[in-house]
Amino acid sequence: AINPRRLWDSLMATARMGGTAKGGICRLALSDADREARDWLRGACAALGCTVTVDEVGNMFALRPGRRPDLAPIAFGSHLDTQPTGGKFDGILGVLAGLEVLRTLDEAGFDTAAPLMLVNWTNEEGARFAPAMLGSGVHAGVFDRAYADAREDRQGVRFGDAIAAIGYRGAAPAGSVRLGALFELHIEQGPVLEAEGRTVGVVTGVQGMRWYEVAVTGREAHSGSTPMGLRADALLGAARLVTEVHAISLAHRPAAVGTVGSLEVAPNSPNVIPGAVRLTVDLRHPDDAVLEAMETRLRAAAAALAGDSGLEVRLARIWDSPAVHFDAGCIAAVRSGAAAAGLPTRDMVSGAGHDAAYIARIAPTSMIFVPSAGGLSHNEAESTTAEECAAGAQVLLNAILAYDRA
């Protein structure tokens, strides 16, 4: 049995790395705070005698040998990076519960047949470098290293330079570390488990998700002396798109979601009609065909805007992660792991993207969810109780052992 107290203490210790005044974490990928958390994790794994390998894009792999070196490792983990105003559990729980699994097995002197491997994936959030799930995507061959290196944050810093700057450009070629399977424990980030009073989500898949960058270009002019009819107001056009993204999502209710999360105005002065707006659109649906229909409507809205407003509208899809269906064997291992712990479960499809979604392309994979209070995530107030964290870690351990036996 895992040690709930030790797990909670490690969550609270690492929460100080990038910790915010409001009790959240700002630990953007490849920031100094990220390096601090990585160094801490490396130390904790080394203390258990694990070999830590870092690959070219900064993914960290801590290996614990098994009785049968011929078997590919059973992997588990998540990510240590956060949103700018993120919480203390998103990603971190999956990594630290994995560490707790290793510590528990060590304490018990238990050796699995397959080697075990704890993973910390780079830049899962996509908040600093779009798209999300970049490190796991490179590992799974969805992206190549050159693509990752060329990603830029909003200050124009390249991913490749940022990773070198924090000293986490590893020697292992991308994708070279072998994984026999992957289990990822994560908070739900939605309201379902809490509403139904269940502790564990057996995650059967991940919905499809696409990101777009939209650039609306108008003409800067004086707010006081330019008649309404002579304007090309980029922000007025952008507002129409924000409203349309909402309408598109409602049209495919209840499963569809659509969000404009980021929007920037230039020159951003009270008495200048905005000349340029850049915004991102995030569209999601469990069914790729519906997602395609949503995209079609978004493109039509952008074209209509350009057609009747004198604005130039450029729309580029910058990310496409199709719907994922997890491995039946891994799902069964999670289900039996929860049953062994006597915890009430519910099958569910993840609304959020996860590293597991990309790894599912190259290895049997599934996920475990635990509740998020109020369904809140990507928020400093994100909250999961110590008991729920412990329940998740226990199911993770049970699932790994069940998979190892099978």
Ligand X SMILES: NC(=O)NCCC(=O)O
Identify residues 159-198 at the interface with ligand X (CB under 6 A).
Answer: 189
Report the nearest approach of its own copies to the CB of residue 213 (Å). 9
**For the window 345-364, what string marks contact with ligand X as x by the rule CB under 6 A?**
-------xxx----------
Residue 399's alpha-carbon distances to 70, 205, 211, 224, 405, in angstroms, are 21, 17, 33, 66, 10
CB closer to its own copies out of 164 and 255: 255
Q: Which of residues 200-229 bind ligand X (CB under 6 A)?
A: 222, 224
CB closer to ligand X out of 233 and 404: 233
Per CB under 6 A, 371 contacts ligand X: no
**For the window 8-27, what string marks contact with ligand X as x by the rule CB under 6 A?**
--------------------
Report the nearest approach of its own copies to the CB of residue 170 (Å). 27
Terminal-residue alpha carbon distance, the chain: 20
Q: Which of residues 87-126 bind ligand X (CB under 6 A)?
A: 90, 124-126
Q: Is the peptide bond before 267 cis (omega within 30 degrees of 0)?
A: yes
Residue 149's alpha-carbon distances to 266, 368, 370, 396, in angstroms, are 27, 31, 33, 33
**For the window 309-348, what string marks contact with ligand X as x by the rule CB under 6 A?**
----------------------------------------
| Residue of 281, 404, 385 whose CA lies nearest to 333 | 404
Q: Binding partner of residue 204 among ligand X, its own copies, none, CB under 5 to 8 Å per kind?
A: none
> What Rg do the C-alpha atoms of the chain give, in angstroms?
22
CB closer to its own copies out of 168 and 211: 211
Q: Cα–Cα distance between 218 and 274 in angstroms, integer?
A: 7
Q: Within 10 A of 19 (CB to CB), how many other CB atoms are there?
A: 17
CB closer to its own copies out of 56 and 244: 244
Report the nearest approach of its own copies to the CB of residue 150 (Å). 18
Find all residues with CB under 8 Å of 16, minimum gap 6, and list them: none
CB closer to its own copies out of 73 and 353: 353
Can you name the residues that pair with 78 across neighbouring β-strands?
120
Q: Cα–Cα distance between 226 and 229 in angstroms, integer?
A: 8
Query: How big is the site for ligand X, counted in residues (CB under 6 A)?
Result: 12
Q: Which two tokens stand for residue 2?
A: 């895992």
Q: Which residues bind ligand X (CB under 6 A)?
A: 90, 124-126, 132, 189, 222, 224, 271, 352-354
